[in-house]
């Protein structure tokens, strides 16, 4: 790791989404681990990161993540990881050379003028979590592979990759879900770093309509949409995703 840090390789940091862990990046890691200095930290309370703040609040979570991220990193966040990446880029701009968003938004909940998910969907997730944590995350896993021509196989591979790491702390899972209610549109609009993003046309959690709204908020944003992808384009459309990621970071596969 030390040798990589001293090399000319760009540093790429990937942040996973809600209910998951760094295992979701397995296929991406296999393509990029020799091209970049790659870090895939688990969010606090997930995977190998068993320590988490109580209460599970944004600033405390961001501070824990910032300790693991070198200066001038390409910081890429998927879903909830993207929301956290926006906050981190605003609070610790020296750590984020460029920001990448994968099916992520500064505001996940819809309002009259903003595309997003209905608030009752989040409430249903919260209620389901209290009833059966494991089953709720299993259902969420199934959403990730929507749009894939090999959805069943992709879900199986994703489940295996995630189960290779320790189970998430229940309090962290619940706390992280609440972070999805935050509105960071002002923070996103104020970012000065270059921003790149990739979204799925079939995504029900982060509607593709949000792309136009994001570009109006921040002119530094260069965003694209994969026509038949859903919420996890790196799973359903790995070739298109890896092409986007390599172009963004500036490496050849």
User: Which residues are part of the catalytic machinery?
Assistant: 79, 203, 231
Strands 37-39 and 221-226: unpaired
36: left (phi over 0), alpha (psi -120 to 50) or beta: beta
Cα–Cα distance, 221 to 150 (Å, whole number): 31
Strands 195-200 and 96-102: parallel
As given in the structure block, the two tokens for residue 215 are 């570009």
Cα–Cα distance, 157 to 41 (Å, whole number): 20
Q: Give the SS3 label for residue 48.
A: coil
Residue among 101, 241, 122 nearest 184 (CA): 101
Q: What is the DSSP string of 203-239?
A: -SSS-TTHHHHHHHH-TTEEEEEETT--S-HHHH-HH
Cα–Cα distance, 236 to 228 (Å, whole number): 9
As given in the structure block, the two tokens for residue 159 are 């489940």
As given in the structure block, the two tokens for residue 201 are 């046309």
């Amino acid at each position: 790791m030390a040798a990589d840090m001293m090399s000319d390789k760009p540093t790429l940091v990937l942040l996973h989404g809600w209910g998951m862990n760094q295992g979701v990046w397995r296929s991406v890691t296999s393509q990029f681990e020799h091209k970049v200095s790659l870090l895939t930290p688990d969010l606090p309370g997930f995977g190998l990161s068993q320590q988490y703040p109580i209460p599970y609040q944004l600033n405390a979570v961001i501070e824990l993540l910032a300790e693991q991220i070198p200066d001038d990193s390409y910081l890429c966040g998927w879903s909830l990881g993207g929301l956290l990446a926006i906050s981190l880029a605003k609070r610790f701009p020296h750590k984020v050379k460029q920001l990448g968003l994968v099916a992520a938004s500064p505001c996940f909940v819809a309002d009259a003028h903003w595309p997003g998910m209905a608030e009752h969907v989040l409430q249903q997730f919260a209620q389901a979590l209290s009833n059966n944590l494991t089953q709720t995350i299993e259902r969420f896993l199934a959403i990730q592979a929507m749009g894939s021509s090999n959805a069943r196989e992709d879900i199986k591979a994703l489940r295996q990759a995630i189960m290779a790491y320790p189970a998430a702390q229940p309090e962290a899972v619940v706390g992280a879900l609440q972070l999805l209610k935050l509105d960071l549109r002002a923070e996103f609009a104020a970012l000065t770093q270059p921003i790149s993003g990739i979204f799925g046309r079939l995504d029900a959690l982060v509607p593709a309509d949000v792309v136009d709204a994001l570009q109006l908020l921040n002119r530094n944003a260069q965003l694209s949409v994969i026509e038949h992808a859903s919420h996890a384009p790196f799973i359903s459309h790995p070739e298109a995703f890896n092409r986007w990621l390599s172009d963004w970071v500036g490496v050849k596969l």
